[in-house]
């Protein structure tokens, strides 16, 4: 099952936020995340808040769009009552789960509610995730006509035995078809990969990366597999059926991917993300890394506005009940103190290519820069210009860099 929600204080039934969230809001971008928690099957590695049909316990996929729309309408009222300025959404991201298990018309209706309540910035980025086997050509055309600008396909691997170890059900031969359909519809395309799967060799990984490069997507994500407690994959590793992922092999895989992506014209802009030029970077995800504001719609969705973080009821049935009763679906929240906000700022900003302004670091952090340069973890030229930017080696050791910057 999905991971537990964090601990925090109870969220008020009306969802109102403290007045402190309005400070500096005009300088922060606003995005909307819509969580669609449905999957046909649960992948063995997945720890996300997702549900197959036999786990819904009375909730119905067919009702979900209306429930999400009700939360979008409530969110505008809450933000207005919390004295936040009116801001159009700069980005909208439909994630999951598999958003495209819902009819394309439902996704378009939910986007329409965001447009009606908040407006969209000119040129707003609107993304949906999709599995290669969850869309047809007509679905992608309808999404593009309805205002979507981008689709992110969960490819994960081009190698059948690797997909089987992950319990992925799509045929890798389908990926070129869905990429072409998306392009024909006028959508930007991102392909998502996972590396470090038990049984995956460096040659397997090379095949996947080269397959992605051949498709010439606008954007690529490549994440190291994390074995989460409670997942089917973790149980199989514990029983000795599969080998634990190797840190050294994962490092070799990352370096290989970075070399091949760079040679093909992709630039890294976040530790696990590459784009074909700055205009194809995921602006929605950059909002997370830059500490902007976003409202998360749906079961288990997390939101952040002005240093306040909250999260919704996890199960679709519990979420539906709260929305139907006219209550906020939020069940917990925390107000981040200054130390936590600073720690998160350093952690997140240091991961992106645009980097972290060295002058904003505390004394211990600034004092650590020379050693980080000497260890080959931070780009010396960028540091001389006042910005901390990770080298490739630094990206592999990003957590260690953050600890040194924070004096831990």
Q: Which residues of 19-50 are buried (b: 16+ CB within 10 A; e: fewer)?
A: eebbeebeebbbbbbbbbbbbeebbbbbbbbb
Same domain, 283 and 408: no
Same domain, 368 and 263: no
Residue 135 lies in a domain: yes
Same domain, 342 and 210: no
Residue 302 lies in a domain: no
Q: Does residue 270 sit in helix, strand or coil?
A: strand
Same domain, 397 and 276: no
What was the pLDDT predicted at 57? 86
Same domain, 122 and 195: yes
What was the pLDDT predicted at 4? 67
Same domain, 26 and 103: yes
Same domain, 258 and 361: no
Residue 229 belongs to a domain with what CATH number?
A: 3.20.20.70
What was the pLDDT predicted at 26? 96
Residue 89 lies in a domain: yes
| pTM score of the predicted model | 0.96
> Tens of pLDDT along 130-152?
999 999 999 999 999 999 999 99
Same domain, 128 and 24: yes
Q: If you ran DSSP here, which 8-state letter would residue 135 be given? A: -
What was the pLDDT predicted at 207? 98
What was the pLDDT predicted at 1? 40
Query: Which of 258, 289, 320 corresponds to the end of one domain?
Result: 289
The number of folded domains in the chain is 2
Query: Which of 255, 272, 289 corresponds to the end of one domain?
Result: 289
Same domain, 20 and 145: yes
Strand (E) positions, 116-242?
A: 120-130, 150-156, 188-195, 219-224
Rounded-to-integer distance, Cα 64 and Cα 60, Å: 7
Range of the domain at 168: 9-289
Same domain, 370 and 279: no
Residue 66 lies in a domain: yes
Whether the Cβ atoms of residue 87 and residue 120 lie closer than 8 Å to each other? no
Q: Does residue 120 sit in helix, strand or coil?
A: strand
Residue 42 lies in a domain: yes
Tokens, residue 298: 């749906």
> Tens of pLDDT along 298-326?
999 999 999 999 999 999 999 999 999 99
What does the angle CA 276 – CA 347 – CA 252 come to, to the nearest 5 degrees? 55
Segments of the chain scoring below 50 in pLDDT: 1-2
Whether the Cβ atoms of residue 222 and residue 272 lie closer than 8 Å to each other? yes
Rounded-to-integer distance, Cα 64 and Cα 265, Å: 40
Residue 406 lies in a domain: yes
Rounded-to-integer distance, Cα 30 and Cα 292, Å: 7
Q: Does residue 133 sit in helix, strand or coil?
A: coil
Residue 108 lies in a domain: yes
Residue 196 lies in a domain: yes
Same domain, 348 and 260: no
Same domain, 128 and 22: yes
Query: Which of 261, 289, 317 corresponds to the end of one domain?
Result: 289
């Amino acid at each position: 099952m999905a991971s537990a929600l964090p601990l925090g204080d109870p969220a008020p039934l009306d969802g109102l936020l403290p007045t402190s969230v309005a400070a500096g809001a005009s300088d922060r971008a606003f995005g909307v995340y819509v969580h669609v928690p449905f999957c046909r099957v649960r992948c063995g590695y997945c720890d996300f808040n997702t549900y197959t049909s036999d786990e819904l316990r009375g909730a119905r996929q067919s009702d979900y769009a209306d429930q999400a729309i009700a939360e979008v309408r409530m969110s505008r009222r809450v933000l207005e009552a919390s004295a936040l300025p009116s801001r159009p959404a700069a980005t909208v991201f439909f994630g999951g789960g598999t958003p495209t298990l819902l009819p394309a018309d439902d996704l378009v209706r939910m986007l329409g509610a965001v447009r009606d309540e908040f407006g969209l910035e000119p040129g707003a980025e609107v993304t949906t995730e999709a599995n290669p086997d969850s869309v047809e050509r007509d679905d992608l055309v309808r999404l593009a006509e309805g205002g979507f600008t981008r689709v992110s396909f969960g490819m994960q691997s081009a190698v059948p035995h690797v997909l089987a170890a992950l319990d992925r059900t799509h045929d890798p031969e389908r990926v070129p078809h869905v990429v072409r359909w998306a392009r024909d519809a006028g959508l930007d395309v991102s392909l998502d990969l996972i590396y470090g799967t038990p049984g995956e060799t460096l040659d397997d990984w090379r095949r996947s990366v080269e397959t992605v490069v051949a498709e010439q997507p606008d954007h690529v994500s490549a994440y190291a597999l994390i074995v989460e407690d409670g997942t089917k994959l973790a149980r199989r590793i514990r029983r000795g059926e599969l080998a634990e992922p190797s840190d050294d092999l994962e490092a070799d895989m990352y370096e290989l991917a970075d070399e091949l992506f760079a040679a093909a014209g992709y630039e890294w802009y976040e530790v696990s993300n590459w784009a074909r030029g700055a205009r194809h970077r995921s602006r929605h995800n950059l909002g997370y890394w830059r500490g902007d504001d976003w409202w998360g719609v749906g079961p288990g969705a997390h939101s952040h506005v002005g240093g306040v973080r909250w999260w919704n009821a996890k199960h679709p049935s519990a979420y539906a009940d709260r929305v139907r009763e006219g209550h906020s679906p939020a069940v917990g929240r925390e107000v981040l103190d200054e130390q936590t906000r600073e720690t998160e700022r350093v952690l997140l900003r240091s991961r992106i290519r645009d980097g972290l302004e060295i002058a904003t670091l505390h004394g211990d952090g600034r004092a650590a820069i020379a050693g980080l340069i000497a260890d080959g973890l931070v780009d010396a030229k960028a540091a001389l210009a006042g910005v901390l930017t990770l080298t490739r080696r630094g990206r592999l050791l990003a957590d260690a860099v953050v600890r040194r910057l924070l004096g831990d």
